[in-house]
Structure 1
Amino acid sequence: MQATHDDLTAELCGRTVLVTGGGGLIGSRIAAHLREVGARPVSLCRLDAYPLSAYRLLFGVDEDDADFAVGDVTDAKLVRRLVADCDYVIHAAALADVAACTRHPMNAITTNVIGTQTVLDAVAACERVRRFCYVSSASVYGNGNRDERPACAETRSMRQLLEAVYGHMPPCFGESAVLQPLSVYANTKLWGEFQTALHLAQVGTSYAIVRYFSVYGDPQTVKRGSHSWVVAWFAARAALGLPLHLNGGGHQVRDLIHVDDVAAGTVRALVAPRAHNETVNLGTGHATTIRQVAEQVQQHYPRTQFMETPMPPGDPQGGYAAIGRMRHLLDWQPAITVEEGIARYTAWLQRTPQAIPDWLRQTAPA
């Protein structure tokens, strides 16, 4: 059930779409996907998470492009001007690093709460906008509710298989689950979900909320002091001959979804009729432990060693996505397996060794 360019083009061809956070990994890939289906993406981004050269090299950003605005989502005048000329809005801008949000909660509140409200105000005031898509996160589920775990396994044999592989039944997160955020970042994303529904329902503007699971894929690169982006971290460390840190033993479960798939799913949520005023997971429906990710990376770097390290604050045990609702609402599902995605990433890193930051290189053995 893959969305084709034809059915997307029918609505998006010739339309203008604002993508906040359009200079980052996900935002730039969403913008590229929009161009493929005939839309005109307009991007807004601060371009301050990486050196400017990295944005150009890794994400193909041209800050001099007339359709690229360098600025902040808290700048109400700028946001109103950009939204006024758009048919659709995808709000992907966020301080998305869990560790950074924990260290600097006021920064998280400024970008993820005040910034979101600024965008919502502009959208609510613009009659031209056909739908607003809010990018949320599976982190709103926290560690899940044990009583809800068996519901997502389709058969008894599947439940038995999961228990045999993981030693327990990993949480399967459905959109109607009790939400139990465990971090500052998750709190801000949950606020954005409720505020989107509250604010836009008052003016009758269509919206869709997408909950991203663990997004990975080239050209994702690591940030100092972060424990997010496990595939990028493990591949970069393995390439340098550094051990892979398994926080808490690496037993946390993630649903890894490739950035190409998450971009396609987000664009699909922007136009799918059944996604009107709905919340939908964007995941694969497959559970992968952090240790399994390390083992997959080790296949491409056979000399890689593992090191068990303490669990950082705000790092959930995690789970995987229930995707029945996604299939129904979007008439779509991801196509890239974890094995394929990790192979793509390690191949890209071998072709692009300069993507490994100097500060990480300095920690490598001589």
Structure 2
Amino acid sequence: MNVLVTGGAGFIGRWVVKRLLEDGHQVWVLDDLSNGRRENIADLESHPGFRAFVHGDIKDEGTLEELFRNQFSICYHLGASINVQDSIDDPRTAFNNDTVGTFYVLEQCRKHNVKMVFMSTCMVYDRCTDEKGITEEHPIKPASPYAGAKIAGENMVLSYYFAYGLPTVVIRPFNTYGPFQKTGGEGGVVAVFLKRKLSGETLNIYGDGTQTRDLLYVEDCARFVVQAGYSDAVNGHIVNAGLGRDISINDLALMIVQDPKSIQHVEHIHPQSEIQKLLCNYEKATRLLGWKPEVTLEEGIRRTEEWIASTNLI
């Protein structure tokens, strides 16, 4: 198939592109490099199935019209603003990228009858209150403009399924980590902690550290994302993916450094948008896609640390 990946030079996007190429598809990548890095896909661009990297913006309708002449079968829409604090500081950019930009991509999918897989986020959910985990029917709570813009995007994506019969699916991966994730302030907690450990720095925990996260290894996530595009069973659905195990940030820090003296608690930068407990119930993904995670948290952390230690890219 001909496939478009928006945000394909980003952390998760890079692994989605790799998976699609391995599955034998022709892949185009659209990315404005505001979050992504060209280096993320440098080793993939020589693959015979890699057709083009387009440095462009999902809000540029001319760029999209030109791209969609390639008769795509699927559009994996991962291009987005992704940082909660950035969305609080600058809600306009988050809304324009995550809601308006999604609308522009959707319009091209409708015009050319291209399936859209929309990458949403677990950050749309209210805190978990059930040890069975968060299902897709769990209450949502837009605790940040990022979450609000993603919910708006989700609703537009699903509206095109119901109004036009366009095949669309909303996917909500939980906190994803692994090689190629940024290790600076805008990176995920695992990457940030590992980088600080390897640099001999103290691990800083926002707030009291009792907040929990369900951490999904990136190759498991990419497999889920790609599979959602292949299957008609999930069209018109919202589908979660996670490890099905949560861990407190305090316990995660200890798992990584094994030394309480190397950990300190600092004032939370956005306590109003913190979600105290995130735990994924991925039964629907198993039922509809046959998907389940394969990489344990311990193994995923080991692989990620090995990658960070081996590269000066980030």
- The 1:303–1:292 alpha-carbon spacing in structure 2 relative to 1, beyond 3 Å, is closer
Q: Which blocks of at least 5 consecutive residues in structure 2 are unaligned?
A: none
Give the C-alpha shift of residue 81 in structure 1. Answer: 2.4
Give the C-alpha shift of residue 63 in structure 1. Answer: 8.2
- The 1:126–1:278 alpha-carbon spacing in structure 2 relative to 1, beyond 3 Å, is same
> What is the distance in 2 between the residues matched to 1:99 and 1:328?
35
Give the conservation status (yes or no) of the 8 Å contact 1:62–1:68: no
Q: Which is higher, the Rg of structure 1 or of structure 2? A: 1
Q: What are the Cα deviations for residues 117-161 of structure 1, in whole angstroms up to 9, with x where unaligned? A: 10011111113x2x21000000110324x4xx15x2xxxxxxxxx
- The 1:182–1:122 alpha-carbon spacing in structure 2 relative to 1, beyond 3 Å, is same
Give the conservation status (yes or no) of the 8 Å contact 1:254–1:320: yes
Give the C-alpha shift of residue 82 in structure 1. Answer: 1.8
Give the conservation status (yes or no) of the 8 Å contact 2:126–2:139: no
Residue identity matched to 1:133: V
- The 1:315–1:355 alpha-carbon spacing in structure 2 relative to 1, beyond 3 Å, is farther
Give the C-alpha shift of residue 66 in structure 1. Answer: 4.7
Corresponding residue of 2:297:
338
* 2:94 maps to 1:108: yes
Give the conservation status (yes or no) of the 8 Å contact 1:298–1:304: no
- The 1:338–1:62 alpha-carbon spacing in structure 2 relative to 1, beyond 3 Å, is closer
Corresponding residue of 2:54:
69
Residue identity matched to 2:239: V
Give the C-alpha shift of residue 55 in structure 1. Answer: 3.0
> What is the distance in 2 between the residues matched to 1:175 and 1:339?
27
Map residues 212-361 of structure 1 onto 2, 5 A cutoff: 212-224=173-185, 226=186, 228-299=187-258, 305-313=262-270, 314-352=273-311, 354-356=312-314
RMSD: 1.9
2:19 to 25, 28, 33: 33
> What is the distance in 2 between the residues matched to 1:59 and 1:241?
29
> What is the distance in 1 between the residues matched to 2:144 and 2:179?
26
Give the C-alpha shift of residue 61 in structure 1. Answer: 6.8
> What is the distance in 1 between the residues matched to 2:170 and 2:261?
39
Give the conservation status (yes or no) of the 8 Å contact 2:120–2:170: yes
- The 1:304–1:133 alpha-carbon spacing in structure 2 relative to 1, beyond 3 Å, is farther
> What is the distance in 1 between the residues matched to 2:255 and 2:18?
28
Residue identity matched to 2:263: F
Corresponding residue of 1:48:
34
Deviates more, 1:203-212 or 1:310-319: 310-319
Residue identity matched to 2:61: A
Corresponding residue of 2:5:
19
**What is the TM-score normalised by the length of structure 2?**
0.92
The alignment covers a number of residue pairs equal to 308
* 2:92 maps to 1:92: no
Map residues 176-191 of structure 1 onto 2, 5 A cutoff: 176-191=137-152
**What is the TM-score normalised by the length of structure 1?**
0.80
> What is the distance in 2 between the residues matched to 1:107 and 1:318?
27
- The 1:80–1:327 alpha-carbon spacing in structure 2 relative to 1, beyond 3 Å, is same
Percent of residue pairs identical: 28
1:126 to 112, 131, 146: 112
Residue identity matched to 1:246: I
- Give secondary structure in 2 for the equivalent of 1:42: strand
- Give secondary structure in 2 for the equivalent of 1:173: coil
> What is the distance in 2 between the residues matched to 1:62 and 1:33?
10
User: Which portions of structure 1, spanning 4 or more consecutive aligned residues, are displaced by more than 3 angstroms?
Assistant: 61-66
Q: What are the Cα deviations for residues 186-226 of structure 1, in whole angstroms up to 9, with x where unaligned? A: 111111111101134222111111001001001212344x3
Corresponding residue of 1:359:
none
> What is the distance in 1 between the residues matched to 2:35 and 2:78?
14
Give the conservation status (yes or no) of the 8 Å contact 1:174–1:322: yes
Give the C-alpha shift of residue 303 in structure 1. Answer: 8.8
- Give secondary structure in 2 for the equivalent of 1:255: strand
1:83 to 51, 68, 79: 68
- The 1:33–1:323 alpha-carbon spacing in structure 2 relative to 1, beyond 3 Å, is same
